[in-house]
Chain A
Amino acid sequence: MKALSKVLLVAAALAVSACALNPFATARTLEQKSYALYGSFVIFEEQGAKMMLSTEVPNSVKFRLQQADSAAKPAVDALKDAADSVIAAKRQLAEGATDKEKVSIAVANLSQWYYDAKPKVECLIRTVEGKSCSN
């Protein structure tokens, strides 16, 4: 039954990926790519939340979901905070209240959080899909 559950969860994932929808390929700027990452995280996190309510999903999958979500959530929230800082720095620059260096620092910080969060989000996505995750 556990093996079958895994197969069916993978089938659900295939239904998603079969649509060839790739938010990352659409995004152009770092801010847009960060939004694509957070948005993808939210979509799979919400699917995970629904799986927690289902008696049809094995507890072992639910425990793995909790772990993957615990690992990813602080990273994506830090990503959002970093994006907020970029927006604020750019606004201040436009108002003449700061210089380009502050914007560059904020963008570099956002880039760091993006690469920190990405594998954790991918781990959550793989877990929702019923695949293993080494993170």
Chain B
Amino acid sequence: MLELITTLLRALSSVAADPGLGARGAAIKAVLDLAAFAIERGTEGADQLKALVADLQAMVAEGRDPTPEEWSALKLRSDAAHAAIQNWRPE
């Protein structure tokens, strides 16, 4: 459902980008793009949270704690995201 909404928002954004619509079209496009971006981020985050909860449920069911390999996999992802955030500079 959310995928359909973002597809619709992106399609409407393309229409709003028509040069004939001028500044108002550009403003509408910016709003639609931002809305689609926000929904995509929220959906992706929810999917990842579901995966984390599933991992933890499996650990609880197996009566074990996270392994060094599971910790290291998380740290690798964090290091990459951290670098991306910290390397950003305003244009």
Number of B residues contacting the other chain (C-beta, 8 Å)? 43
Please tell me if the beta carbons of A32 and B42 are within 8 angstroms of each other in the complex.
Answer: no
Please tell me if the beta carbons of A69 and B42 are within 8 angstroms of each other in the complex.
Answer: no
Chain B interface (Cβ within 8 Å of chain A)? 2, 30-31, 33-35, 37-39, 41-46, 48-50, 52-53, 55-57, 59-60, 65-68, 70-71, 74-75, 77-78, 80-82, 84-86, 88, 90
Known: A40-B52, A45-B81, A65-B85. A19 touches B46 (CB 8 A): yes
CA distance A99 to B65 in the complex (A): 20
Pull 24 A–B residue pairs with CB atoms less than 8 Å apart, ordered by A. A4-B34, A5-B34, A9-B38, A12-B38, A15-B46, A16-B46, A16-B49, A21-B46, A22-B53, A26-B56, A31-B65, A39-B74, A42-B78, A43-B48, A46-B48, A49-B84, A51-B41, A54-B37, A56-B30, A56-B34, A56-B37, A65-B85, A80-B75, A87-B67
